[in-house]
Amino acid sequence: MLELKNLVFEVPVKEGSSETRRIIDDLSLSIPDDTFTVITGPNGGGKSTLAKIIMGIESPTSGRIILDGQDITDMSITERAKSGIGYGFQQPARFKGMKVKKLLEIAAGKKLPMLSCNEYLSKVGLCSADWLTREVDKNLSGGEVKRIEIATMLARDPKLAIYDEPEAGIDLWSFDRLTETFRSIHDAGNGRSIIIISHQERIIRLADSIVLLQDGKIKATGKPDEIMPELGLARRAASGPACALTEPTRLHITEIPTTC
Amino acid sequence: MAVDLSPIDESLLATIANIHGMPKGAFNIRRDGQLVERHNSAYIEIETKKDNPGIDIRVKPGTKGETVFIPVIVTQSGLKDVVYNTFYIGDDCDIEIIAGCGIHNSSHAASEHDGIHSFHIGKNCRIKYIEKHYGEGEGTGARILNPTTDVYMDEDSYCEMEMVQLRGVTSTVRDTNAKIGARSKLVLTERLLTHDEQLAESNVVIELVGEDSSVQVISRSVAQDRSRQVFNPLVVGKAACRGHVQCDAIIMGDATVKSIPAIEAESPDAILMHEAAIGKIAGEQITKLMTLGLTEEEAEQEILDDFLS
């Protein structure tokens, strides 16, 4: 179980300024094991910052983070990763010279047979075996590198997986596959928890629990049916005050074979 | 190995040429300016030059699937070894050549090896050449490697050259020249690591002389500590041809890197391109690998290893 206790994250208003602005404002939240939580809310509401604080990429100004009863607030990213937290980046880094297979193996923490690698990749719609020897560099499109990022998370199989907007940059076909994958991880019921930051209605509907984050505070939590009305679904064409839901971006659908 | 090689010799040979025991096929192993062991195969003949120190390697036309090893090791401090190795590769060959030089310097005097390699590649060949340079030793003496590589490609051939400086080379000035014939292609990859106060200079001149000839020059380097690197790759298009030069460097510590890729077209049908980039390891790359359980140091090493792989 992940517990966030009175988290505060402040940044200087301007560089060098002593005046600060609160991005996360005294936030407390519990994420039980075996749950699928979607954190949603308007842009600038603190969603990504909160995810980064859980992974250790940002340090909170105050408050504590407890994972399975252990205080991890002062742990490094590496230590948190070893404690079972995984993080899927919204804009994944690229690595010149690193093969996809190598990245999957680093994620898994062991050598992987080709078959396992292909399985992870096919779950994100990258079906050809030659993907394994391609490099995770600038020659990949944004959608491709994003799908590899998600495959990396599948290979890592963390106890607590945090995905920051996994749908961004993913085409519609892969998005279907992606939602199936999230559902199957959740249905496996093996103690794995997923936190997804998303604006996407179909991902939100998959969740056990929705957290609506606004101005660094939890505005509402509950099951999808309870929270959906809060999200301004009826007003989705207009810019709703709470959250403008979006369809996944239609990208690269013509250039990536999606027939596996 | 039948010949008298010390553990240091064997370790150097394993590092630069991946030789464990006696290689199969043709080979010539040189240590401290002297021949250690040589073996010819039915198709590849190695003989000592009559005019200069070094060897002529003659590969019969139609030779396929063979590997020839010509590694050099230097373990004697204060030695300057200059060697001329000339390859005459007949038409229709498909072979691999493993070269390289390892220096173990345990004293204060400089050890130097200058290997001058010439490749005369016939028609319709496929050649892969791998050369690794490496220096080690507890002495303060410099470990100097100044290779010159001259390549002459006839028509319809393909040649891949991979030239690597692993680490430990105090100073290197590398000169690589090639003339490429019609419909032939050269892929030249150079990967260098420098550290401490080391200096590396690489000068490459590729002349695309034949119609539809092409070249790809790929340079990847990592400059650490206070080391200095200078790259001067030049591709000259003299016919309807294609050339691409790409220089990428990761800079660390107080190192300096100068990268000056150049292209010259002497034909209106030459299509030439160059690109160069120098930068440090991005923080987001380190962060990403840390989220996969690597420490900061492991992440940095992983990024460097992959970059130079």
Write the residue in A86, A97, A156 that is nearest to B308 by C-beta.
Answer: A97
Minimum CA–CA partner of B296 in chain A: A78
Q: Do B285 and A156 touch (CB under 8 A)?
A: no
- SS3 for B185? strand
Question: Which residues in chain A have Cβ-Cβ distances shorter than 8 Å to B279?
Answer: none
DSSP symbol at B23: P
pTM for the whole structure: 0.86
Q: Is the pLDDT of residue B178 over 50?
A: yes
- Distance CA(B91)–CA(B14), nearest Å, equals 31
- Distance CA(B246)–CA(B227), nearest Å, equals 21
Question: Which residues in chain B have Cβ-Cβ distances shorter than 8 Å to A99?
Answer: 306
Angle, CA of A150, A154 and A157, to the nearest 5°: 135
Inter-CA distances, B139 with A114, B119, B146, Å = 45, 35, 20
- Distance CA(B100)–CA(B103), nearest Å, equals 10
For position A76, what pLDDT does the model report?
A: 97
- Among residues B73, B142, B59, B147, the alpha carbon closest in space to that of B108 is found at B142
DSSP symbol at B139: S
Q: So where are chain A's domains?
A: 35-59+73-235
For position B21, what pLDDT does the model report?
A: 79
- Distance CA(A105)–CA(A116), nearest Å, equals 10
Handedness of CA A23, A64, A33, B291 (dihedral sign): positive
Residue B292 forms contact with A (CB below 8 Å): yes
Residue B306 forms contact with A (CB below 8 Å): yes
Question: Which residues in chain A have Cβ-Cβ distances shorter than 8 Å to B219?
Answer: none
Q: Confidence class of residue A246 from pLDDT cuts 50, 70 and 90?
A: low
Write the residue in B282, B287, B302 that is nearest to A57 by C-beta.
Answer: B287
Q: Are B116 and B83 in contact (CB under 8 A)?
A: yes
Q: What pairs with residue B47 in β-bridges?
A: B56
Q: Are A236 and A78 in contact (CB under 8 A)?
A: no
Q: Do A97 and B220 touch (CB under 8 A)?
A: yes
Mutate to test the interface with B, among A85, A106, A153, A159 (most CBs of B within 10 A): A106
Give the helix/strand (H/E) hosting A218.
strand A217-222
For position A260, what pLDDT does the model report?
A: 52
Strand A85-88 versus strand B34-39 pairing type = unpaired
Question: Which residues in chain A have Cβ-Cβ distances shorter than 8 Å to B307?
Answer: 95-97
- Among residues B117, B131, B66, the alpha carbon closest in space to that of B88 is found at B117
For position A237, what pLDDT does the model report?
A: 44
Q: Nearest 5°: phi and psi at B122? A: -75, -165
Give the helix/strand (H/E) hosting B244.
strand B241-251
Residue A183 forms contact with B (CB below 8 Å): no
Question: Which residues in chain A have Cβ-Cβ distances shorter than 8 Å to B302?
Answer: 98, 106
For position A252, what pLDDT does the model report?
A: 46
Q: Is the pLDDT of residue A256 over 50?
A: no
Mutate to test the interface with B, among A54, A75, A78, A102 (most CBs of B within 10 A): A78
Mutate to test the interface with B, among A96, A101, A156 (most CBs of B within 10 A): A96
Mutate to test the interface with A, among B220, B292, B298 (most CBs of A within 10 A): B292
Question: Which residues in chain B have Cβ-Cβ distances shorter than 8 Å to A109?
Answer: 292-293
DSSP symbol at A132: G
Residue B297 forms contact with A (CB below 8 Å): no
Query: Between A188 and A53, where is the model more confident?
Result: A53
What CATH topology corresponds to A35-59+73-235? Rossmann fold (3.40.50)
Q: Do A77 and B284 touch (CB under 8 A)?
A: no
- SS3 for A3? strand
Write the residue in A76, A97, A109 that is nearest to B306 by C-beta.
Answer: A97
- Distance CA(A35)–CA(A203), nearest Å, equals 14
Look up residue B272 and give its two tokens. Answer: 């030439």
Q: Are B186 and B157 in contact (CB under 8 A)?
A: no
Tens of pLDDT, residues A7-43: 999 999 988 888 999 999 999 999 999 999 999 999 9
Residue A138 forms contact with B (CB below 8 Å): no
Q: Do A97 and B293 touch (CB under 8 A)?
A: no
Amino acid sitting at position A189: G
Least reliable range by pLDDT among A47-51, A108-112, A141-145, B252-256: A141-145
Please measure the distance between the N-terminal and C-terminal CA atoms of chain B and give it in whole angstroms. Answer: 29
Write the residue in B282, B292, B308 that is nearest to A81 by C-beta.
Answer: B292
DSSP symbol at B277: E
Letter string b/e over residues B99-127, b meaning 16 or more CB atoms within 10 A of that residue's CB? bbbbbbbeeeebbbbbbbbbbbbbbbbeb
Q: Confidence class of residue A244 from pLDDT cuts 50, 70 and 90?
A: low
- Distance CA(B144)–CA(B121), nearest Å, equals 28
- Among residues B214, B250, B217, the alpha carbon closest in space to that of B232 is found at B217
Minimum CA–CA partner of A54 in chain B: B291
Alpha carbon of A235: minimum distance to chain B alpha carbons (Å): 37
Q: Do B291 and A106 touch (CB under 8 A)?
A: no
Q: Do B284 and A93 touch (CB under 8 A)?
A: yes
Question: Which residues in chain A have Cβ-Cβ distances shorter than 8 Å to B287?
Answer: 57, 77, 93
Other beta carbons less than 10 A from residue A234's beta carbon? 10
Letter string b/e over residues B277-302, b meaning 16 or more CB atoms within 10 A of that residue's CB? ebeebeeebbbbbbbbbbbeebbbeb
- Residues written for chain A: 260
Q: What pairs with residue B276 in β-bridges?
A: B247
- Give the residue-averaged pLDDT of A249-259: 46
Which residues, including other chains, have CB under 8 Å from residue A98's CB and lie 6 or more apart? A135, A136, A137, B302, B303, B306, B309
- SS3 for B20? coil
Query: Between A245 and A75, where is the model more confident?
Result: A75
Least reliable range by pLDDT among A105-109, A225-229, B33-37, B178-182: A225-229
Tens of pLDDT, residues A136-161: 998 998 889 999 999 999 999 999 99
Q: Is the pLDDT of residue B226 over 80?
A: yes
Inter-CA distances, A182 with A53, A116, A150, B40, B287, Å = 23, 18, 10, 61, 24
Name the packing angle between helices A100-108 and A114-123 (round to 10°). Answer: 100
DSSP symbol at B33: T
Highest mean pLDDT of the ranges A108-117, A162-171, B105-114, B203-212: B203-212
H-helix segments, chain A: 47-55, 77-82, 100-108, 114-123, 142-156, 172-188, 201-206, 224-227
Question: Which residues in chain A have Cβ-Cβ distances shorter than 8 Å to B244?
Answer: none
For position B292, what pLDDT does the model report?
A: 97
Q: Do B292 and A82 touch (CB under 8 A)?
A: no
For position A168, what pLDDT does the model report?
A: 82
Residue with tokens 């198709």: B43
Minimum CA–CA partner of A91 in chain B: B284
Q: Are A226 and A48 in contact (CB under 8 A)?
A: no
Q: Is the pLDDT of residue B290 over 70?
A: yes
Q: So where are chain B's domains?
A: 1-148, 170-309
Q: Confidence class of residue A45 from pLDDT cuts 50, 70 and 90?
A: very high
Mutate to test the interface with A, among B222, B306, B308 (most CBs of A within 10 A): B306
Q: Confidence class of residue A240 from pLDDT cuts 50, 70 and 90?
A: very low
- Distance CA(B125)–CA(B155), nearest Å, equals 9
- SS3 for B171? strand
Q: Is the pLDDT of residue B80 over 50?
A: yes
Q: Confidence class of residue A185 from pLDDT cuts 50, 70 and 90?
A: confident
For position A238, what pLDDT does the model report?
A: 47
Minimum CA–CA partner of B288 in chain A: A93
Other beta carbons less than 10 A from residue A8's beta carbon? 17
Minimum CA–CA partner of A56 in chain B: B291
DSSP symbol at A135: B
